Amino acid sequence: MNSFISPALQQWIGDSRNPTQAGLCAQIAVGFNRLDFGFIDNLLADECTYGSQSVLEDLEGREAVAHYLSGKLDTLRRSGASVLVRAELAQESMDGNPCVALYQRKSTFGKSGIGDLIGYTTVEVNESGKVVRFFTITAVPRPESCRRSGLFPGLDAETVERDKNFTGGTLPRSEEVTFVLFAMEGIEGMRDSVEGILPDFLPIHLDQKTDQDEACYHHSIIMFPTLDIVYEEQIVRRIEGYHPADQLREKLADLFD
């Protein structure tokens, strides 16, 4: 990993409350940014486990964790430009421990930039300096609570800037696009907002789901309300939380022609 260590990265590791953990986070981030499991493989202890708030059961043992992570990176690499994953060094908000903030750009439409912050990954280390546990936070505390450093190990500044400023194509105002709203029963605010802007986007239609609908699982919904913009069975944009109609219209302006 030495070729990826910049002065800023060295300082971040040195200033961390746990430099060993910070160094491991940096190497893990390189693996994600380069989509190369080789940077992560030798970090795993035999007793390593992997867990996530979005997965019911942990993976146990080095072989299972390695198979999962290498497969994930292989899949992302095969996806090409349609899916972008980026990893930024960060610190947990409560205790300041180093972690890896993960972004994913799920579509090439609109001003999608570097993508959505989908979670952050923490690591635990044994006495030999190997990772004994990965755990990914996706909901509580909110991923946005982590303190991000602006460091993306394994990427040069030009690449990071290009990713952050990425603007893709626009969607048609057609029946191929659906607004899918997930909201708790009896909570009408977001539905009113969506219905208020819908005439601007005709013939796009609204598909409403409650918090009890099976579609919540298939869309990986973690909070209500959530509005997904779906095109050709792909979630092009996700808007979480309540937004009045004017804010909602602004958040969608770059997405349509």
Q: What's the number of domains the chain is made of?
A: 2
C-alpha distances (whole Å) from 110 to each of 22, 93, 104, 247, 255 are 34, 31, 15, 16, 4
**What does each of the 257 residues of the chain score in pLDDT, given as a tens digit?**
456 789 999 999 999 999 999 999 999 999 999 999 999 999 999 999 999 998 889 999 999 999 999 999 999 999 877 789 999 999 999 999 999 999 999 888 999 999 999 999 999 999 999 999 999 999 899 999 999 999 999 999 999 999 999 999 999 999 999 999 999 998 999 999 999 999 999 999 999 999 999 999 899 898 899 999 999 999 999 999 999 999 999 999 999 98
pTM here is 0.87
For residues 112 and 204, state if they share a domain: no
CATH at residue 101: 3.10.450.50
Taking only the tens place, the pLDDT of each residue in 94-117 is 999 999 999 999 888 999 999 999
Tokens 């105002």, residue located = 173
Within this chain, do residues 29 and 122 fall inside the same structural domain, yes or no?
yes
Domain-terminating residue out of 139, 164, 189: 164
Nearest to 121 by CA among 96, 163, 89: 89
CATH number at residue 218: 3.40.30.10
Q: For residue 142, is it within any domain? A: yes
Q: According to the model, what pLDDT value does residue 2 have?
A: 57
pLDDT digits (tens, 9 = 90+) for 197-223: 999 999 999 999 999 999 998 998 988
Q: Are residues 130 and 238 in the same domain?
A: no
Structural domain contains residue 257: no
- 136, 164, 192: which is the final residue of a domain? 164
Of 141, 164, 187, which closes a domain? 164
pLDDT at res. 3: 64
Residue 120 in contact with residue 141, Cβ under 8 Å? no
Residues of the domain holding 217:
177-251
238: number of Cβ within 10 Å:
18
One domain for residues 105 and 193: no
Shared domain check, 199 and 134: no
Same domain, 41 and 102: yes
How far is Cα 102 from Cα 150, in angstroms, rounded to an integer? 12
For residue 109, tell me if it sits in a domain.
yes
How do beta strands 44-52 and 131-137 pair?
A: parallel
Q: Are residues 190 and 147 part of one domain?
A: no
**Using N-to-C axis directions, what is the helix angle for 7-15 and 19-34, rounded to 10°?**
140
- Answer yes or no: are the C-beta atoms of 163 and 84 closer than 8 Å: yes
